[in-house]
A and B are shown apart, each in its own frame.
Chain A
Amino acid sequence: MSDFPRWKYALVALVMLFGVIYALPNAYVPLSAVQVTANKGAAPIDDALRQKVADALAKDHIATGEVLVQGDHLLATFANADVQKSGADAIKTLLGDGYTVAFKLQSTVPRWLTMIGANSMPLGLDLQGGVHFLMQVDQSGVVDKLENSYADDIRNQLRQKDIRYESVARSAVAGQGIVVVLRSAADRSSAADLIAGNSPDLAVTDGPSTGDRYVLYAAIKPTKLRDLSLGTIKQNLGTLRNRINNLGVSEPLIQQQGEQHIVVELAGVQDPTEAKKMIGATATLEYRPGIGYPGDPRAIEAAQTGSIPPDANLYYTSNGHVPVLVGKRPIVTGDELINASSGIDPNNGTPSVNVTLNASGAKKMQEFTNANVGKPMAVVLINTVYETSTVNGKEVRTPKTTYAVINDATIQSPFGKEFSTNGLGSPKEASDLALLLKSGALAAPMDIVEENVIGPSLGQENIKKGFDAVMLGLLLVLVCAAVYYKLFGLVADIALFFNLLVLVAVMSMIGVTLTMPGIAGIVLTLGMAIDANVLICERVREELRNGSTPHAAIHAGYDKAWATILDANVTHLIAALALMTMGTGAIRGFGVTLFIGILTSMFTSVVMTHAFTALIHGRRKLKTLSV
Chain B
Amino acid sequence: MEIFNHNSNIHFLRIRMFSIAVAVALVVASLALLATKGLNYGLDFTGGVSLVVDYAQPVQTSDVRDALEKGGLENTVVQSVGGSREVSIRMQPTKDMLDAKGQVNLDKVAGTVMQALKAPRPDATLKSRSSVSAEVGAELKSDGMVAAVFVILGIMAYLWIRFERRFAIAAVLTEIHDTLVTLGVLALVQREFDMTVLASVLAVIGYSINDKVVVFDRIRELFRLARKAEPEEILNRSINSTLSRTIITSLFTGITMAALFFYGGPAVHNFAITMLIGIVVGTLSSIFVASPILLWLGVSKKDLMPVTKENPELARRP
Contacts and interface: CB of A to CB of B under 8 A. Distances in A.
A and B associate: yes
A594 interface: yes
B303 interface: no
A534 B245 contact: yes
Interface residues of A, number: 76
A541 B6 contact: yes
A98 interface: no
A294 to B, nearest CB: 44
B contacts with A: majority SS? helix
Nearest to A580: B147
A483 B248 CA distance: 12
Contact of A528 (B133, B196, B207): B207
B133 A520 contact: no
Interface stretch (A17-25, A213-221, A404-412, A462-470): A462-470
Nearest to A449: B128
A255 B137 CA distance: 11
Contacts of B253: 524, 527-528, 531
**Could you say which of A255, A472, A531, A586 has the most chain B C-beta atoms within 10 Å of its C-beta?**
A531
Interface stretch (B12-20, B68-76, B259-267, B308-316): B259-267
B231 interface: no
Contact of B203 (A453, A542, A594): A594
B267 A571 contact: no
Interface stretch (A239-247, A333-341, A438-446, A560-568): A560-568
B94 to A, nearest CB: 18
Given A484-B248, A570-B158, A571-B213, A454 B206 contact: no
A477 B252 contact: yes
B144 A524 contact: no
Interface string B211-247: 0011011100100000000000000000001101100
A320 interface: no
Contacts of A591: 199
Contact of B256 (A85, A485, A523, A577): A523
Given A531-B210, A564-B217, A579-B199, A584 B143 contact: yes
Interface stretch (B26-34, B114-122, B148-156, B184-192): B148-156
Q: Bin chain B's interface residue count.
A: 35 or more
Contacts of A542: 6, 241
A469 B80 contact: no
Nearest to A483: B1
Contacts of B151: 574-575, 578
Contact of B267 (A453, A455, A462, A534): A462
Nearest to B246: A534
Contacts of B207: 528, 572
A192 B205 CA distance: 61
A500 to B, nearest CB: 12
B271 A465 contact: no
A19 to B, nearest CB: 20
A33 interface: no
B195 interface: yes
A561 to B, nearest CB: 9
B304 interface: no
A625 to B, nearest CB: 14
A258 B133 contact: yes
A271 to B, nearest CB: 15
B130 A517 contact: no
Nearest to B171: A571
B67 interface: no
Nearest to B4: A538
Contacts of A134: 128, 130
A568 B256 contact: no
**Could you say which of A258, A484, A572, A594 has the most chain B C-beta atoms within 10 Å of its C-beta?**
A258
B37 interface: no
A362 interface: no
A257 interface: yes
A1 to B, nearest CB: 29
B58 interface: no
B280 interface: no
B213 to A, nearest CB: 5
**Could you say which of B1, B3, B207, B248 has the most chain A C-beta atoms within 10 Å of its C-beta?**
B248
A574 B135 CA distance: 28
Nearest to B200: A520
Please list the 9 inter-chain residue pairs (A to B) with the smallest Cβ-Cβ separation, ordered nearest first.
Answer: A575-B206, A455-B82, A527-B256, A527-B253, A473-B256, A465-B265, A473-B259, A469-B264, A574-B154
15 contacts: A469-B260, A469-B263, A472-B259, A473-B259, A484-B1, A519-B268, A520-B196, A520-B271, A527-B254, A527-B257, A568-B217, A569-B210, A571-B213, A578-B202, A586-B196
Interface of A: 85, 126, 129, 134, 255-259, 261, 449-450, 452-455, 457-458, 461-462, 465-466, 468-469, 472-474, 476-477, 480-481, 483-486, 516-517, 519-520, 523-524, 526-528, 530-531, 534-535, 538, 541-542, 545, 560, 563-564, 567-572, 574-579, 581-584, 586-587, 590-591, 594
Given A519-B264, A531-B249, A538-B242, 20 more contacts: A449-B128, A450-B130, A452-B52, A452-B81, A455-B82, A457-B82, A461-B265, A462-B267, A474-B256, A477-B252, A480-B255, A484-B248, A485-B1, A516-B264, A524-B260, A568-B217, A571-B213, A572-B207, A581-B150, A594-B203
